[in-house]
Amino acid sequence: MVKSKPYIILSAAITLDGKIATKCGDAKISSHKDKIRLHNLRTTVDGILIGINTVKQDDPLLTIRYAKCGHKHPVRIILDSNGIIDHNTKILKTSTKFKTIIVVSEKIPQRNLNRLKNYLNVDIIMSGKKTVDIKQLLRHLLTKYSMQRILVEGGSKVNWSFINQNLFDELIITVSPYLVGGTRSIPFLSGTGFPNIADSPTLKLKSITRLEDEVVLNYVRPCHF
Ligand SMILES: NC(=O)c1ccc[n+]([C@@H]2O[C@H](COP(=O)([O-])OP(=O)(O)OC[C@H]3O[C@@H](n4cnc5c(N)ncnc54)[C@H](OP(=O)(O)O)[C@@H]3O)[C@@H](O)[C@H]2O)c1
């Protein structure tokens, strides 16, 4: 069968009550041991993909600095329909060192597009009319960039898009021993949600790893089991 997308792994650290950040945007959920595990996982993929809200809220580097040395650095991929990513973000500040792709939509204002074009090591991919068409994007990343494996690291809206469109193969969730509650905290998945449990994708538990008080759950789609 001809592949139409790279292998997609969704990854998140959640609290015991299923949140990925508090209502104030605090997302420091996982332990240092789990960060090392995550960075080692990052060394196994070609790209790490996140949404623009996560860039705004967390200002991540998306590097493999806690992993063992000698690995090829994955490409950082940001979904940013309007091309609003700030010049002072760590992603853009380190873009000469680590390859970065900003994925915009057709509605991006021309001045934002011109600004992004000034970054030498940043590729711009246009996909979708108002928001990024992730199915089209994944095909492009497979065929034009030869990406075989991509790690999706959130946030909530991006996770939902991949699950709602059935574009993922594996789920790796760290459950950390926190309870934050609140209707305004950020859940693992946002979006409209499925009306019935039967609408949920089918998943098979592949492994459980204990890291002191955290557990790392690894689920895969049955076709990969
Ligand atoms: N604990 C964890 O593991 C973890 C990991 C990551 C993030 N987080 C937390 O998650 C929060 C951010 O999550 P969020 O849900 O607000 O935002 P998000 O998923 O990070 O970003 C969503 C934004 O991405 C853009 N986008 C473009 N195309 C999209 C598409 N097809 N599907 C979905 N999004 C698309 C949209 O903005 P435009 O329309 O402007 O393009 C959208 O509003 C932060 O508080 C962060 O700390 C936690």
How would you write 140-169 as a 3-class SS string?
A: HHHHCCCCCEEEECCCHHHHHHHHHCCCCC
- The CATH number covering residue 187 comes to 3.40.430.10
Angle at alpha carbon of residue 124, lines to 118 and 129, rounded to 5°:
125
pLDDT band at 69 (very low <50, low <70, confident <90, very high): confident
Cis peptide before 155, with omega less than 30 degrees from 0? yes
In a domain? residue 172: yes
- Per DSSP (E only), the strands in 93-203 are 100-104, 122-126, 149-152, 170-176, 186-187
Q: Is residue 40 in contact with ligand 1, taking CB distance under 6 Å?
A: no
Whether 85 is in the pocket of ligand 1, judged by its Cβ within 6 Å, is no
Q: Is the CB of 10 under 6 A from ligand 1?
A: no
Give the Å distance between the CA of 14 and the centre of ligand 1: 15
- CB neighbourhood size of 13 (10 A): 26
Ligand 1 atom nearest residue 58's Cα: 47
DSSP-assigned beta bridge partners for residue 173: 12, 217
Mean pLDDT of the chain: 96
At 14 the pLDDT is 98
Residue 88 belongs to domain spanning? 7-224
User: Domain for residue 175, yes or no?
Assistant: yes
Give how far the C-alpha of residue 118 lies from the chain's centroid of Cα atoms, to the nearest Å. 25
Q: How far, in Å, CA of 198 to CA of 77, rounded?
A: 32
Closest to 50 (Cα-Cα) out of 94, 100, 5, 122: 100
CB distance 152 to ligand 1 below 6 Å: no
**What percentage of the chain has pLDDT greater than the value 70?**
100
What pLDDT sits at residue 224?
79
Residue 2 resides in a domain: no
Question: Does residue 40 lie in a domain region?
Answer: yes
Q: Which of 10, 28, 81, 162 to mutate for ligand 1's pocket (most ligand atoms within 8 Å of CB)?
A: 81
Average of per-residue pLDDT across 152-170: 98
User: Who contacts 135 (Cβ-Cβ below 8 Å, separation ≥6)?
Assistant: 5, 165, 167
In a domain, 148, yes or no: yes
Instruction: Report whether 37 contacts 176 (CB < 8 A).
Output: no
How many domains does the chain divide into? 1
Confidence bin at 177 (pLDDT 50/70/90): very high
pLDDT grade, residue 71 (50/70/90)?
confident
Within a domain: residue 41? yes
pLDDT beyond 80 at 13: yes
Q: Is residue 1 part of a domain?
A: no
- Tell whether 26 is covered by a domain: yes
